[in-house]
Amino acid sequence: MKTTDEIDEQFAAMRPAGLDKVTAESHHRRRNADITRAFREPQTAVRRRTAARPRLVVAGLAVAALAVGAVVLPDAIGGSGAETPHSTVAAPPAAHLDARSFLLASAATAERATETEGAYWYTSVRTFEPIRHAWPDSEAGQEQKGKREKLPYRASVAHTQESWTARSGGARSRTITGQDVKVTFGTPADETAWKKAGEPKLWPFTRAVNDNDMPIKWTVGAHGMSTDELRKLPQEEAELLAELQRLHKTERPEDWATPPSFNDYVWWTAADLLAGPLTPETRGALYRVLAQQDGMQVERVKDPLGRAGVAISHTTDEGNLTARLTVNESSSELLAYESQADGAAEPLVMAYQAMGWADSIDTRPGG
């Protein structure tokens, strides 16, 4: 039987690789009628199906930055910050939500959205994650990483990454990683234990600007797609469903710890795609395809940044792995992605602070 720590690490690796660099398309259209109709629907029973546990697929700017050695190891980071990483939490009770009706309402909103395109897809992602081990103080010490013991106290880290992904395959892309790093502790006693242990380094990454001239691929399952390919995905529900079925059948088993069922594949792929620069029509079709799937639960929540949204959750049959997408109920944009192993002290949460098209690598949407 796997330990909680092993499951926690395995599940952290399960997060969609594309979420390290992409976020949902930003648009702000009201849909009061759609949401009212969705909330009138009774909560239906959900049937859980086994969720796959994909191996992290290496793709994108963050990995490329590591390959060229752009990330540096700073001095130890310590002390309690003002910001405490936490899971999405339930908001005050409201009318019953129905996952299928909510997703169909999200589809209608997404399809009505208008967008302005640009040369770069910009994202700002705030990641909250548990710290399981202290980091070594030297490169030689990194060789002992697999032998390190789990921390005897609870600690978490929050950090922000900005990305400018070039639409043109030959243009330069950029990520700025390790921004606003804050390490926090579960309790004052945990911080005291850390100090007594000699204040070991808990997070090694500091701010780094990483430029890359190679074409960037977006992950769809374990497949890679260019931005243009992503934006040419089918815009009709039936056609998009057929394309996802084709992609599922052509996945290589070696790219997955456990090859996923199609139901689970749609879930993990949606987590990737909803964070990318899809056209409004494809985004709407994806919500409709997702609405056909089994094993989802829905509730109103507040995300780690305090924003109200609706969370759609998917849990394995064993009940030991849960993933959650939090969606803005009035705009259908993705607010956060969360994953947590049963028994884990803290989840992995990626909150999308800003997203959209930018005209150049040194500007942000609307700037």
Model confidence band, residue 319 (pLDDT cutoffs 50, 70, 90): low
Mind listing the pLDDT tens digit for each residue in 131-140? 988 987 754 4
- The stretch 85-101 carries a mean pLDDT of 62
Longest dimension (CA), the chain: 60
pLDDT digits (tens, 9 = 90+) for 213-259: 888 888 898 999 988 899 999 999 999 999 999 999 999 999 888 78
Percent of the chain with pLDDT over 90: 43
pLDDT at 33: 36
The token pair at 17 is: 């690789």
- Tell me phi and psi for residue 223, to 5 degrees: -85, 155
Is the distance from CB of 362 to CB of 23 less than 8 angstroms?
no
pTM, entire model: 0.74
The pLDDT value given to residue 217: 87
Name 321's Cβ contacts closer than 8 Å, sequence gap at least 6: 7, 11, 14, 51, 53, 315, 339, 340, 341, 342
Q: Are strands 120-131 and 296-302 parallel, antiparallel or unpaired?
A: unpaired
User: Tell me: the pLDDT tens digits for 8-48?
Assistant: 444 444 433 333 333 322 222 223 333 333 333 333 333 33
pLDDT attached to residue 89: 56
* Burial (Cβ within 10 Å: 0-12, 13-18, ≥19) of residue 253: exposed
pLDDT at 70: 31
Per-residue model confidence (pLDDT) at position 22: 34
Q: What is the C-alpha R_g of the chain?
A: 20
| Residue 357: partners with Cβ closer than 8 Å, 6 or more residues away | 115, 116, 117, 118, 119, 120, 121, 122, 277, 365
Alpha carbons 308 and 353: distance in angstroms, whole number: 13
What is the rounded average pLDDT for all residues in the chain? 75
DSSP assignment letter at 101: H
pLDDT of amino acid 88: 57
Q: Which helix (H) or strand (E) holds 119?
A: none
The mean per-residue pLDDT over the stretch 52-80 comes to: 33
> Of residues 55 and 194, which shows the higher confidence score?
194
Question: In the structure encoding, which two tokens stand for residue 350, read together?
Answer: 């990626």
Tell me, what's the pLDDT at 346?
80
Q: With cut-offs at 50, 70 and 90, classify the pLDDT of residue 309.
A: very high
DSSP 220-274: ETTEEE-HHHHHTS-SSHHHHHHHHHHHHHT--GGGBSSPPPHHHHHHHHHHHHT
